[in-house]
Amino acid sequence: MAQHSSARPFHHPQPGSALACGAVSLEALARRYGTPLYVYSADHMVERLALFQQALAGREHLVCYAVKANSALAILNLLAGRGAGFDIVSGGELERVLAAAPEAAGRVVFSGVGKTAAEIDRALTAGILEFNVESEAELDLLAARARKLKMRARFALRVNPDVFAETHPYISTGLREHKFGIGIRRAPAIYKRAARNRWLEAHGVSVHIGSQIRSAEPFGAALERVNKLVQQLRRQGIVLKTVDAGGGLGIDYHDGSFDAEAKAAEYAAALERALSGFEGRLLLEPGRFLVAQAGALVTRVLYVKQNGKKTFVVTDAAMNDLIRPALYQAWHEIVPVRPRAGKARIVDVVGPVCESGDFFARDRKLQPVEPGDLLALLDAGAYGMAQSSNYNTRPRPAEVLVEGAKPRLIRRRETLADLLAPEWMPAKADSAAIERRRLSALALSARRRPLGV
């Protein structure tokens, strides 16, 4: 295992040198590709995937990367080539997997509470591994689509074990008041009903209790309840082939020395204990754990502004590029790419978007920076580019994947032409007709208005 597998891949090769991703300077990347810029380490992602594969080597398993964390085609292709499967939550994500690695279709699990008939049809014809079904109505639709296509549909019920996991309320999913899953006590009756439908195959059972969970204990508790259900179904003659443990294993956004190897081993051990007696295939759906610390958002300082007692560092990146601090009050370590000498000071690091919520850090101690300097927002590989937008008509950043000493542009920077391309305006003649209709409607409205109003 490479020495840096348990830490961030971003480092200063020598004292006073520019921050690098592997062997590649972030200054050089910023000069070549501009800013804001997402930079990812391919080596780091592969190492994180291998941690799970090695920790679970004693059991048949499949690591299904959660595509929603970062759906870049190059990253999907990279992980597919190392044996990963994929957890998807939309038809669009399925198309990304098929574009990046068509041979991986049989390693796809389809989650999500609102699958459409068209999405189900596409997934059936693509030959995915299984559907993680989240409601009885969805199971009925799956059966109907499978019957229409004359294809048997493999499914796993996503059961809700009502296990509490300490995390942000927006990313907690395992309690009965959440929109996800089916009550675990209701599941046996649903499996029994499905067994009578020739177009459905009860293939597995699925659970997902939330995201950014730092302890292995809640995962073990959830899987113990799931295993009891599996054994109960076996006694009733329904033998499930897979247990999907979901994802959600978190990282430490505050500590670059986070021991990922120990955390993956602890997680795998908890699952193994909980699944005693189950001889089928274990599926798991890590996302953030594989890619978050592999990525950084590189941004350039535009201004350093004093407002009363507050100091603002204004960057060319904004909340549309990385929304996690504004959305979740999430912490991202922020470091100068080339440190300056001098005393650190307390600043707010903010973007140029016209919102007070456009910030990356508030009251953060930061080494001295000047306009033109580069900053790196670390641990931005998950839910960074994936949640980006064009708010304020801002083109989204470019993305670069670094493998060894070789950087590769995997997504070019958007242009204003890209943003305007899907839109249209009526021709001038049509505009005149629209104005005539508007005036006619106003006149009609005035005639119908009651007297005295």
Is the residue at 9 inside a domain? no
Does 143 share its domain with 287?
Answer: yes
Q: Which residue range is the domain that position 334 belongs to? A: 295-419
Please report whether residue 366 resides in a domain.
yes
248 and 357 both lie in a single domain: no
In a domain, 453, yes or no: no
Residue 169 forms part of a structural domain:
yes
Same domain? For 261 and 302 the reply is: no
What would the pLDDT profile of 213-271 be if each residue is shown by its tens digit?
Answer: 988 998 999 999 999 999 999 999 999 999 999 999 999 998 767 899 999 999 999 99
Residues 256, 139 within the same domain? yes
- The verdict on whether 354 is a catalytic residue reads yes
Residue 261: inside a domain: yes
The CATH code of the domain that includes 408 is 2.40.37.10
336 and 374 part of one domain: yes
Report pLDDT digits (tens) over 288-343. 999 999 999 999 999 999 999 999 999 999 999 999 999 989 999 999 999 999 99
Instruction: Say if residue 170's pLDDT is above 50.
Output: no
Residue after which a domain boundary falls, among 247, 274, 291:
291
Same domain for 373 and 405? yes
SS3 string, the chain, reads: CCCCCCCCCEECCCCCCCCEECCEEHHHHHHHHCCCEEEEEHHHHHHHHHHHHHHCCCCCEEEEEEHHHCCCHHHHHHHHCCCCEEEECCHHHHHHHHHHCHHHHHHEEECCCCCCHHHHHHHHHHCCCEEEECCHHHHHHHHHHHHHHCCCEEEEEEEECCCCCCCCHHHECCCCCCCCCEECCCHHHHHHHHCCCCCEEEEEEECCCECCECCCHHHHHHHHHHHHHHHHHHHCCCCCCEEECCCCECCCCCCCCCCHHHHHHHHHHHHHHHCCCCCCEEEECCCHHHHCCCEEEEEEEEEEEEECCEEEEEECCCCCCCCHHHHHCCCCCEEECCCCCCCCEEEEEECCCCCCCCEEEEEEEECCCCCCCEEEEECCCCCCHHHCCCCCCCCCCEEEEEECCEEEEEECCCCHHHHHCCCCCCCHHHHHHHHHHHHHHHHHHHHHCCCCC
Q: Does residue 32 lie within any of the structural domains?
A: no
Q: Which amino acid is at 30?
A: A
Query: Does residue 340 share a domain with residue 218?
Result: no
94, 176: one domain: yes
Domain count, the chain: 2
Which one of 57, 137, 341, 354 is the catalytic residue?
Answer: 354
pLDDT band of residue 444 (cuts 50, 70, 90) is low
Report residue 6's pLDDT band, with 50, 70 and 90 as the boundaries: very low
Residue 429 binned pLDDT confidence (cut-offs 50, 70, 90): low
> How far apart are the C-alpha atoms of 250 and 218, rounded to whole Å?
12
If pLDDT is split at 50, 70 and 90, which confidence band does 146 have? very high
- What pLDDT does 11 receive? 95
Measure Cα distances from 8 to 5, 11, 47, 144, 260 in Å: 8, 8, 12, 47, 10
442 located within any domain: no
Say if residue 85 is in the same domain as residue 125: yes
Of 262, 291, 320, which residue constitutes the final position of a domain?
Answer: 291
Same domain for 99 and 201, yes or no, is: yes
> Is residue 439 assigned to a domain?
no
Task: Among 251, 273, 291, identify where a domain stops.
Answer: 291
> Over the stretch 179-192, which tens digit does the pLDDT of each residue have?
578 999 999 999 99
| Same domain as 203, residue 327 | no
Residue 182 belongs to a domain with what CATH number? 3.20.20.10
Dihedrals phi, psi of 218, to nearest 5 degrees:
-60, -35
Whether 221 and 348 map to the same domain: the answer is no
